[in-house]
Amino acid sequence: MAGTALPVLPKPAPRWPLLNGLWGVAVPLGLTALDWPVRALLTPGNILLFYLLGVFFVAIRFGLWPSIIGSLTSVAAFAFFFAPPIFSFAIADPENLVGVSVMLVVGIVTSKLAETLRSQTQVAEHRERRASALYRLSKALAEARLGTEVIAIGVQHIQAEFGGRNTLLLPGPDGKLCYPDAPALAMSWRGADLGLAQWVFGHVRLAGRGTDNNADSPAVYVPLQGGGGMLGVLVLELADVRLLHVPEQRQFLDTFVGQIAHSLERAQLAEHAKLATLKMQEETLRNSLLSSISHDLRTPLATIIGAASTLETDGQLAEASRRNLAAAISEEALRMSELMVKILDMARLEAGEVVLNRQWYAPEEIVGSALRRLDKKLHARQVNVNMVDGLALVQVDAVLLQQVLVNLLDNAAKYSPAGRPIDIAVETQAQGLTISVADNGPGIAPALQDKVFEKFFRLHPERAQGGVGLGLSICRAIVGAHGGDIHVSNRRGGGAMFQIHLPLLSAPPTITPEEKGLPL
């Protein structure tokens, strides 16, 4: 076959090659049978033209060798049946001899032409197939935004085009190649030799099956090169080594891989850019956080250091003064500790370090443990708890939800006059859990009701006992992590009411009733 065009992988195996050869015999014999009854009406030239027609047909339909067999069979049949003497292969008439020779030459030449046409059609078909494969690939890749999506699409398309399981190895944080994080697809291959892949990555050369490096490996290792350097290595399980040795195929593979590499690079650059933006925002936030908290931390520290150094150096202090100083240290340190806890909580929530530990809890229990944590602060205060279905289980992170309630109750105690009651209402319904914490203080101006949830926002920045302005931001972050929402409004009679709504994701589990044979 012509070296410029074929073979193509997977090679379309000629079906029944012997049968194709038989057509070369059968068609001239058929024509002979057709011509025989009407031989008196036809000149030898006409008959030869009929045979030539048959040879054309065989050439176009079945290829070169059947048509050459056809030409030879036609010549033999003509000599035997039509050229005198009949029933002998001898040809007496020189005119017929010339006719036969010309037909033979014309037959073979046209066979050759038809064959070229055939193979060109095939080449065009394969080119078309590759072009559309590349088109499909680039279309799919154009929609991919993330590196992981590019990898998944690449692996699927490589499998579809080259018929082997494969994987794309990318360098991990330590620079060593590793499998992608995403779960393996059906066509993913997990049997790669990571050492060999690393070599390919370092040397930017092909290795594995069909190459001179580790040729006995079941897979070929192809470097994935982007514009800015090496991106990774494609490991492709290779059924047929010809993929690498036929120039057209190799070029196709290179183009295919190149396109994946470029999309991957684009996705990675986009991800990097996004990270950089996020980092910048974080930096800004960190700066504002630093300036905000440095003041809050310095004030108590000044007291602590001052009091401690007086205690340390002044031996003449009266017992009462010593106690006062010690009390001041303890009080301010406690305040600092509370601030630190809030700052760290917020940082943890913001950093996404907090993974919800959702379990089934009764809201009554969470409210109870929050109230107990604030026992000392709420000491002299009336707290009314109105609970509807407080034992119906909800799936929440109890530690975090308790923190929300503690922050809200703490605020209520801080910002409403001592002695005024705090009201808690809890209601569990099919669509969700609603908890409200309401005080009898001055309330919050409507214009500020959204702002109070912002980080570092304080209603009374001048007040010393105010916090750092993170309590409600922490509440919002925790409620948000539960998929719920929190908002504040003013009660009709005065006072602020914070309301949390958490959606219930699934129906609570049931338990085997005690009578039915549980261990006692």
Partner 1 sequence: MTEQTPLLLLIEDDPPFRSLLATTLEGQGYRVLATDTGREGLLAVRNRSPALLLLDLGLPDMDGQDVICRLRKSSELPVIVLSARHQESDVTQALDNGADDYLTKPFSNAELMARINALLRRVAKLPGGVQEVFQVGGLKVELTKRRVFTDGCEVHLTPLEFSLLSVLVRHAGFVVTHRHLLEKVWGASYVEHSHYLRIYMGQLRHKLEADPARPRYLLTEAGIGYRLFTDDTP
Contact set with partner 1 (CB under 8 A): 333, 337, 341, 344, 348, 357, 359-362, 364-369, 371-372, 383, 385, 387, 390-391, 393, 398-399, 402, 424, 508-509, 511, 514, 518-520
Cβ at position 155, least distance to partner 1 in Å: 37
Cβ at position 388, least distance to partner 1 in Å: 12
Cβ at position 520, least distance to partner 1 in Å: 4
Region of 494 please: left (phi>0), alpha (psi -120 to 50) or beta.
Answer: left
Q: How far apart are the first and last CA of the chain?
A: 85
The nearer residue to partner 1, 129 or 372, going by C-beta atoms, is 372
Cβ at position 243, least distance to partner 1 in Å: 51
Cβ at position 508, least distance to partner 1 in Å: 7
| Neighbouring residues of 297: CB distance < 8 A, sequence distance ≥ 6 | 336, 339, 340
Burial class (CB in 10 A: 0-12, 13-18, 19+), 154: buried
Cβ at position 384, least distance to partner 1 in Å: 10
Per the CB < 8 A criterion, the answer to whether 147 and 267 are in contact is yes
Per the CB < 8 A criterion, the answer to whether 372 and 412 are in contact is no
SS3 421: coil
For residues 210 and 242, what is the distance between their CA atoms, to the nearest angstrom? 8
For residues 121 and 117, what is the distance between their CA atoms, to the nearest angstrom? 6
Per the CB < 8 A criterion, the answer to whether 400 and 500 are in contact is no
Strand order in the sheet with 219-226: 177-178, 166-171, 229-237, 219-226, 207-208
The nearer residue to partner 1, 207 or 406, going by C-beta atoms, is 406
The nearer residue to partner 1, 229 or 513, going by C-beta atoms, is 513
Cβ at position 274, least distance to partner 1 in Å: 29
Beta bridge partners of 500: 435, 486
The nearer residue to partner 1, 54 or 363, going by C-beta atoms, is 363
The nearer residue to partner 1, 115 or 296, going by C-beta atoms, is 296
Two tokens, residue 159 = 């499998």
The nearer residue to partner 1, 431 or 512, going by C-beta atoms, is 512
The nearer residue to partner 1, 238 or 393, going by C-beta atoms, is 393
